[in-house]
Structure 1
Amino acid sequence: MTEDEVLSEFRASEALLEGHFLLSSGRHSAHYLQCARVLMNPDRAARLALALVHKIPREIRQQIAKVVSPAMGGVIIGQEVGRALGVDAMFVERPTGTFEFRRGFGLAKGEKVLLVEDVVTTGLSSREAMGAIASEGGQVIAAASLVDRSGGAAAFQVPFFPLVELNFPTYAEDEVPAELAATPIIKPGSRKN
């Protein structure tokens, strides 16, 4: 899938939003990708997941034993990537503010894991989820996301494969342009802090 085709999927599902958004990373943006909307259609979610899987080199795909995603945003795309790879998919969640495995999910020691996200802005959620995977004994061998909006700044200790890279500007609290600051803030992400 090309970048235009991916953006077409977001536009078709009204998932590319404009306004003043406080992202779960803590940064501000005039654009927000509501991946839940683009993934609410199972056929579209399957197409995007298959395209994402094809971005990952075959030698890495063949090693993946499990897919793990951070809740909430990564759950649907993680499930679809697991389906496309033919492996189990599970998620980590933050009941007390720190990612952990629950609901009977777990990993065997050394089990090779693909971490799957919906959108990466700073990579913080991905790194936190990788910590939970390591604590459980799993080994993250690669990370993937539908969208990388970090501008290449998200750094992981493993190869990272986004389906598309979008460089909508984001701003720290003290960098928000006046015209954006004048717009009411919407906090669409899954974090409460």
Structure 2
Amino acid sequence: MSGHTIPTTIEEVLAEFRESGALLEGHFKLSSGKHSGHYLQCARVLMNPARADRLAQGVVAGIPGDILDRVDVVVSPAMGGIIIGQEVARVLGKDAMFLERPDGIFHLRRGFALEPGAKVLMVEDVVTTGLSSREAIAAVAKEGGEVIAECSLIDRSMGTVDLGVPFFPLAAFDFPTYDEGNIPDALAAVAVTKPGSRKE
């Protein structure tokens, strides 16, 4: 085990993924259509509640106090953000809600409602292009709240993503990805797996 310290460095975060079997190695076709030799399975790293708590504490430690002081409620997009959102809310002593999009557009269901003008911390597991984050932020505005910042476990954009609000990932890193016609021979020799939940 990693000594149960709160992970704050990329190495410590990757150690949590490795220890939980959540860093997969092979040949993966990502939801973006690109290919990679690595895949991070966030649901699996959060499977253990003590590990999820450590990671959430690491996330919160990276958010400035003046932002944390203003947060009224935590909101996450389903499915990936639900567990880390719940854990971040627990660390902050706030309520957690999640957005769903059964019809393709994010909105609150299940009796969830935001107070008018509620200050929201958006919590994601992984941010890559930022598209779903921006959709979720827009949905919060439509529901009457205001996203004042977003945080995530992993920023796969390596700091290039623009969400329109301050963004505080626990760890910004990515593994090399390749276009369909540009896959290295060593990777091409490995059978392809399509992880993730997004429909092609």
Report if TM-score (shorter chain) is over 0.5.
yes
Q: Does 1:94 align with 2:101?
A: yes
- In structure 1, the residue matched to 2:85 is 78
Q: How big is each residue's C-alpha offset from its partner over 1:45-91, in whole Å with a ceiling of 9 and x where there is no partner?
A: 00110110010000000111111111111110000000001111111
Structure 1 runs of 4+ with >6 Å offset: none
Q: Does 1:138 align with 2:145?
A: yes
Where structure 2 has 5 or more consecutive residues not aligned to the other structure, the ranges are 1-7
> Deviation of residue 39 (structure 1)?
0.4
Report the number of matched residues. Answer: 193
2:169 corresponds to which of 158, 162, 169: 162
- In structure 1, the residue matched to 2:29 is 22
- In structure 2, the residue matched to 1:147 is 154
> Deviation of residue 172 (structure 1)?
4.3
Separation (CA, whole Å) in 2 of partners of 1:174 and 1:126: 29
SS of structure 2 residue aligned to 1:185: coil
- In structure 2, the residue matched to 1:3 is 10
1:58 corresponds to which of 21, 46, 65: 65
Map 1:34-53 onto structure 2 (within 5 A).
34-53=41-60
> Deviation of residue 2 (structure 1)?
1.9
Separation (CA, whole Å) in 1 of partners of 2:142 and 2:178: 32
Separation (CA, whole Å) in 2 of partners of 1:91 and 1:20: 32
Q: How big is each residue's C-alpha offset from its partner over 1:83-124, in whole Å with a ceiling of 9 and x where there is no partner?
A: 001111111112122222111112122111111111111111
Moved more, 103-112 or 78-87: 103-112
> Deviation of residue 171 (structure 1)?
3.6
TM-score by length of 1: 0.92
CA RMSD in angstroms comes to: 1.6
> Deviation of residue 6 (structure 1)?
1.1
Where structure 1 has 5 or more consecutive residues not aligned to the other structure, the ranges are none
